[in-house]
Structure 1
């Protein structure tokens, strides 16, 4: 039976470890890139699941 996803919430924790980044803007861009990559992977997995 097909399932329709109406809303998908992805929560991602970014651990920076011991790295200290002084420029907050660069850190936000890095986190956005990480989130974008994670969302892309989730969508890819959903597409593969749909093909089955």
Structure 2
């Protein structure tokens, strides 16, 4: 796994962890953000592997 993907996934995991630890957090927004980030990571990886 390329280092930039690992770094992005670690950052995404941290954001999710913080949101889940905060009972007042907007979990729907967190899931939307996570979904967008994962789509971006996969798209960038797809471009890099071509």
Q: How does the TM-score come out when normalised to structure 2? A: 0.55
Instruction: List gaps (5 residues or longer) in structure 1.
Output: 15-23
Instruction: Report the aligned-residue RMSD.
Output: 2.5
For the pair shown, the structure with the greater C-alpha radius of gyration is: 1
* Deviation for aligned residue 1:46: 0.4
Aligned residues: 35
Q: How does the TM-score come out when normalised to structure 1? A: 0.53
Instruction: List gaps (5 residues or longer) in structure 2.
Output: 17-23
Q: How far does the alpha carbon of each residue in 1:20-50 deviate from its partner, in whole angstroms, 9 at most, with x for none?
A: xxxx47x101000000000000000000001
Q: How does 1:22-41 map to 2 (within 5 A)?
A: 24=24, 27-41=26-40
